[in-house]
Amino acid sequence: MLVRLMYASRAVPAVDHDELVAILRKSKANNPANGVTGVLCFSEGIFLQVLEGGRSSVNRLYSHIVGDSRHTQVELLIYEEINERRFAGWSMGQVSMARLNPGLVMKYSETGMLDPYAVSGSVSMALFEELVATAAIVGQS
């Protein structure tokens, strides 16, 4: 029983590049043992993350993440049962902002800024899928 979950959140001001690296390192250390894969995007103080895996594992991880004091306003955008993973290659991939084509964000937004609070979950997921297709995700598991 596989599920896919996507949420958005706002990082607290103390989250800097080093903190992001620490979150990614912890995710890559923990997720393989739990069969969780996914991608994390961090831009303009906003996190957007997709988690995939067994229902119990994803639910447990999400409840930990919601309680993490490094972010607030955690908003569930998508929760769905799936037959197959889309992000199987990453224990926790990272969207490389350097490789992000600004036109791609513009394609899915009113302003060209990443704002998952302002668009539907399916729009954010479509953006993620294009990021995979355009090799803008780094950090192979």
Ligand X SMILES: Cc1cc2nc3c(=O)[nH]c(=O)nc-3n(C[C@H](O)[C@H](O)[C@H](O)COP(=O)(O)O)c2cc1C
Tell me which residues touch ligand X (CB under 6 A). 23, 26-27, 30-31, 40, 47, 49, 61, 64-65, 68, 70-71, 92
Whole-number minimum distance, CB 121 to ligand X, in Å? 17
Amino acid in the structure at residue 64: H
* CB-nearer residue toward ligand X: 20 or 104: 20
- Rounded to 5 degrees, what are φ and ψ at 91? -65, -35
Closest CA to 118 of 105, 129, 131, 130: 105
* CB-nearer residue toward ligand X: 31 or 124: 31
* CB-nearer residue toward ligand X: 70 or 86: 70
Amino acid in the structure at residue 95: V
Whole-number minimum distance, CB 34 to ligand X, in Å? 7
Q: Are 116 and 48 in contact (CB under 8 A)?
A: yes
Tokens of 114: 């990443």
